[in-house]
Structure 1
Amino acid sequence: MSRTYVITGAASGIGKTTAELLRADGHTVIGVDLAGVEVDGDLSTSEGRRAAAEAATQLAGGTVDAVIACAGLSLPKAITAAVNYFGMTEFLEAMQPALAKSDAPRTALISSLSSVQPVFPPLVDAFLNDDEQAALGIAEELAQNEQTGGLIYASSKQAISRWVHREAVTERWAGAGIPLNAVGPGVVKTPMTADLRATPEGSALIDAVVPMPLGYHQDPESIAKLLIWLTSVDNTHCCGQTIYCDGGAEAVLRGEDVWSWNNDGIAQKFAELYAKLGG
């Protein structure tokens, strides 16, 4: 069954690979990027996001089966905050009416293994409060220092994963039958990571930050195929998740137990319930 996809960041990297795989399978793909694809769109501004969503919707004839948001930057600059968070969330919200018209709508975003790494909490809060002016102001301050500039990227990706987790179960998404999920890659062989991977010193640096015991640095197809499954009709119940496709990096960094953080609270709740039942 042929479906109509809208993919941001479709001119390079994971977005381009995903678009190529989908077209090879007979699907219609409407790419969104600064240039070189079906829709020229600047996702660093609110006006650009809305205009790109409108153009993509028109090209699709008003109905879109899936949106895959891949566009992103890793620069230690404020524009990374604008594109990585608002360029995804505002664009997806603008595409929601066209998705809701599909018989099997789906959407997926690119997060990152960086979402579980150190962040700047005030910036994450500004993202999740949808306060772009405050977020850009904080990012501008972080960008003034080489040591703090890198926190912009990680903060944007943690905010994306938290936004997906929060919004996926709302009436706008789950209520409209639209699964909303994210994928968290490790180190992917794309132009974004090419300079770091080009030298032994650069590779050693990223390997220390993103340990990948399975498979080492990954081809973009490893992420593209997961995005395609998440936005296919086969995905009926995966909702609100960030799936870490990262060669084991998340498991290494967070350790074997990410479940027991609330054990005491859960035990207390069950004790209270048991007491109410007369136990």
Structure 2
Amino acid sequence: MTKPRAYLVTGASNGIGAAIAALLLAQGHTVLNVDLKPPSLPPSGMVCFQAELSDEQQTKEIAARLASEYAIIGLVNNAGATRPGTAESATLDSLDFVCNLHLKASLIFIQAALPAMKEAGFGRIVMLASRAALGKPNRVVYSATKAGMIGMARTLAMELGVHGITVNSVAPGPIATELFMSSNPPGAPTTQAIINSTVCKRLGTPEDVARAAAFFLDEANGFVTGQVMYVCGGTTLGVAPV
């Protein structure tokens, strides 16, 4: 029996993941969402699963289940957490947590999806990195793992291109998600300073990031791989390499 094709977006219950899922659903794709909590009202076409993706065993179990039930031809490794910390305050527990969530879970889902992608001769993998990969104060462990996601994507792009599989990264800057706004309330001086740091003089939206991911996920864009798209309002100008 042929397994139904699907796109897997981790952390798609809200924020950027939900916006990416919405675009894929609008294109008629089945979207699998693995998150700590399901959305209160899942949109039509989204199939939700619960798992703590910083837990290796839970991640392996849900990845194996999804790969057994669906042919995953598109994967967005979006689930993430910041875990702020400086050189002095960052903890090894925080490092373990973000490594498990950003790197280990990403690799587990990639390995689970690859058989179906190789069989189809087609696949799209997108890593949700961050402009913090270029360096950001008070984000020692976060920036390290987000840079690791970009490195993983570039290496996988070299290995998998022959199979029709592209691997790219989207690196958001300041995006007005619920999580971001909880730490940066509207009208606060620190929030305004962040807005002023962008050349667009506004915060980004989850939809801004989703449109970038949609470009990499598009079936027609098979000649773009191993790349990083910064969705940051220009905050990386003068920092990111040409």
Is 1:162 the equivalent of 2:151?
A: yes
The whole-number CA distance in structure 1 between the counterparts of 2:140 and 2:154 is 21
Q: Deviations over 1:57-76 (max 9, x none)?
A: 2332xx12211111000123
How far apart are residue 206 of structure 1 and its match?
4.0
Question: What do the CA deviations read for 1:122-159 (whole angstroms, capped 9, x no partner)?
Answer: xxxxxxxxxxxxxxxxxxxxxxxxx5xx2011111111
Determine helix, strand or coil for the equivalent of 1:101: helix
Q: Which amino acid aligns with 1:54?
A: A
Query: CA, structure 1 residues 89+201, in 2 after alignment: closer, same or farther (shift >3 Å)?
Result: farther
Q: Tell me the amino acid that sits aligned with residue 95 of structure 1.
A: A
Aligned to 1:86: 104
The AA in structure 1 aligned to 2:12 is: A
- Structure with more of its chain in helix, by fraction: 1
The amino acid that maps onto 1:175 is V
Structure 2: segments with no counterpart, 5+ residues: 39-46, 85-93
- Give, in angstroms, the shift of residue 56 of structure 1: 1.9
Q: Which has the larger radius of gyration?
A: 1
Structure 2 counterpart of 1:41, from 33, 36, 51: 51
Runs of 4+ displaced beyond 3 Å: 204-208
* Corresponding residue SS for 1:66: strand
Name the structure 2 match of 1:227.
213
Q: What letter matches 1:188 in structure 2?
A: I
Of stretches 86-95 and 13-22 in structure 1, the one that deviates more from structure 2 is 86-95
Query: Which one of the candidate residues 111, 116, 119 is aligned to 1:101?
Result: 119
SS for the counterpart of 2:150 is: helix
Moved more, 46-55 or 95-104: 95-104
Q: In structure 1, what is the Cα distance between the partners aligned to 2:83 and 2:189?
A: 19
TM-score when normalising by structure 2 = 0.82
TM-score normalized by the length of structure 1: 0.72
Query: What is the CA-CA distance between 1:118 and the residue it aligns to?
Result: 5.1
Q: How does 1:10-159 map to 2 (within 5 A)?
A: 10-36=12-38, 38-60=48-70, 63-76=71-84, 77-78=94-95, 79-117=97-135, 150-159=139-148
3-state DSSP class of the match of 2:126? strand
Percent identical: 24
Give the aligned partner of residue 132 of structure 1: none
SS in 2 for 1:64: strand
On the 8 A contact 1:53/1:91 being kept in 2, the answer is yes
SS at match of 1:179: strand
* Partner residue of 2:161 out of 147, 169, 174: 174
Structure 1 segments unaligned to the other structure (5+ residues) = 120-146, 260-279
Give the paired residue count: 220
